[in-house]
Amino acid sequence: PHREKEGYGLSAGGIDYAQSVGADLLITCDCGINAFQPVDYANEHGIDIIITDHHIPDKKLPNAYAVLNPKQKGCEYPFKGLCGCGVAFKLISAVSEKSGIGQNVGLNYLDLVALATSADMVPILDENRVLVHGGLDQLEESKSPGIHQLLVQTGLVGESLNVGKLVFGLAPKINAAGRMGDANRTVELLTTSDKTRAEELASILVQENKRRQHIQEDIVNDAIRLVHSQVDLENNKVVIIGSKGWHPGVVGIVASRIKDEFSRPAIVIAFDKEGIGKGSARSIPHLDLYEALSYAAKFLEGYGGHPMAAGLTVHEDKFENFKSLFLRNVNKILTNDDLIPAISIDGEMALTDINSRFMRFLEKLGPFGPGNMRPKFVSRNLSISGQPRLMGNGEHIRFIVSQNGRNYPAVGFKLSSHYEDLIRGVP
C-alpha cells in the first residue's frame, strides 16, 4: 500500500483494487492480524483473506480464511520469534511441499528472509539464527539483479556480510521507497530480471534514501526542540509529541532517536490535514509498549506491534486524552532507575588478549543481532596515543588506545562531545 494515502496493511481501497482485477484471494504479509473491518469487507465482496503476520493478536482474530501467526493463542508452532517475512516463508515452504513442488523451493528465498529478519530487528535466536546464517551466504552470491545492484551501490560487493551491514547498508535503501510513499519500486527491484532496470531502480532507491535522511534529520531536530519546550521530563517518564507537517514515513526512526536522546520511551505522531495522526512508538526494556497502549486504546483509532516497538493511529481531537491516560499509567510502571542507560558488559579483557584466534572464536558465535548481540568487553587502564580525530561529519572520534605496549585503533561512535576530554586524558 501507499503509506501516505493508504497507511499500513490491509485496506478497503486495496480490496477494491483486487476485486477490479478479478482476484478472489488476498494473502497478507507482516500485517492483518487486527484488520477486522477490512477482512469483513473482503468477505462481503467474495474475496478470501489468508493472514500471515507476527504482530501480537487481539483477544479475537479477524474472520479470515486462515490465520498464520505463531503468537496467536493456541498455536503449537514452537518458535514465536519469526518476523513477518519468516511467517510468509513458512507458508511458501508448506504450499510448495503440499503441491508436490518440493519444500526446498522456499530455500530460494532465504536471501530475502535473512534481509527481512535482520531489518525487522527480531531476535537472532533459534530458527531465525539458522535462516539468517543461510541467507547471508545466499546474499553474498545473490543471482538477483536487484540485490546485486544494491550491493554494488552500497559498496558491499565482495564483502563478508553480517546483520549489521544489512541493517545499516541494504535495509534503509529498500525501506526508503515505502517510507517516502510508494513501495512498488522496491517490489520491482527485488523481482526484476532486467539488469539495466535493476541498476536504474537501485539508483533511485539510493537517492530516495538520501532524501529520507534529510527529511528525517529536520524532523529529529524539530522534535528535540518540541521536547525541550513542551515535555515535562522531570515528572513524565515517556515522551509523547505530535505535529502537523511531519512525514509519517519517518516517525519510527525519529521515535528511536528521541528514545535514545532522552533515555525513555517515545511516541512520535505525524498529523495530516484531516487531523488523523499516524504514530510510532519505541520503548526501553522495562516497558511493554503493546500492553501499555492497550490501556489507552479507547482513545485510539487503532494500534499494533510488539513490546519494544508499536504503531498507532489517533485523531487530533483525542490526542490530549490519549496522552494524559498513557502518561498516567506508564508513570506508575516505570521508575527513575529504569531511565538510566546501562551497558551490559560480558567480560573484562586486556588488549593482549585480542588476537586472530580470539577473533575467529568470536565470529563463530554469530550471526549477531538482537537477542544475540556481539559480546561487549571492558579494558581498564588504557592510555591515548597520538592525536584523536573527528570523523563522520564531526559526530565520531577515531583514536589509538595503548596498554602494556600494545596499540589498537578505536572509534567512539557519537562521542564527539568527549573530544576535549580525550585530548586532556580525562577519563
pLDDT confidence of residue 426: 66
177-to-51, 86, 149, 262, 314 alpha-carbon distances in Å: 24, 22, 16, 29, 24
Q: In this predicted model, what pLDDT tens digit does every residue of 24-56 receive, in sequence order?
A: 999 999 999 999 999 999 999 999 999 999 999
From the list 304, 178, 168, 172, the residue with the least C-alpha distance to 249 is: 178
Specify burial of residue 271 (Cβ count, 10 A radius: 0-12, 13-18, 19+): buried
Higher local confidence (pLDDT), 213 or 6: 213
pLDDT confidence of residue 5: 65
pLDDT confidence of residue 419: 81
Beta bridge pairs of residue 96: none
Higher local confidence (pLDDT), 4 or 316: 316
For residues 319 and 272, the answer to whether their CB atoms sit within 8 Å is: no
pLDDT confidence of residue 4: 63
* Domain boundary assignment for the chain: 3-212, 231-339, 347-424
Q: In this predicted model, what pLDDT tens digit does every residue of 342-351 receive, in sequence order?
A: 888 999 999 9
Q: Is it the case that residue 2 has pLDDT exceeding 80?
A: no
What percent of the chain shows pLDDT beyond 90?
81
Q: Would the CATH topology of 3-212 be identical to that of 231-339?
A: no
310-to-100, 200, 291, 366, 407 alpha-carbon distances in Å: 39, 34, 10, 27, 44
Q: What is the pTM of this model?
A: 0.84
Peptide bond into 367 cis (omega under 30): yes
Q: Is it the case that residue 158 has pLDDT exceeding 90?
A: no
Q: In this predicted model, what pLDDT tens digit does every residue of 322-331 receive, in sequence order?
A: 999 999 999 9
Range 407-414 average pLDDT? 90
Q: In this predicted model, what pLDDT tens digit does every residue of 251-266 receive, in sequence order?
A: 999 999 999 999 999 9
Tell me which of 3.50.30.60, 3.10.310.30, 3.10.450.100, 3.40.50.280 is the CATH number of domain 231-339: 3.10.310.30
- C-alpha cell at position 61: 482474530
pLDDT confidence of residue 427: 60
Non-local CB neighbours of 68 within 8 Å, separated by 6+ positions:
50, 51, 52, 53, 87, 90, 91
CA atoms within a 13 Å half-sphere pointing along the CA-CB vector of 164: 7
The fold of 3-212 is inorganic pyrophosphatase (n-terminal core) (3.90.1640)
pLDDT band, residue 418 (cuts 50/70/90): confident
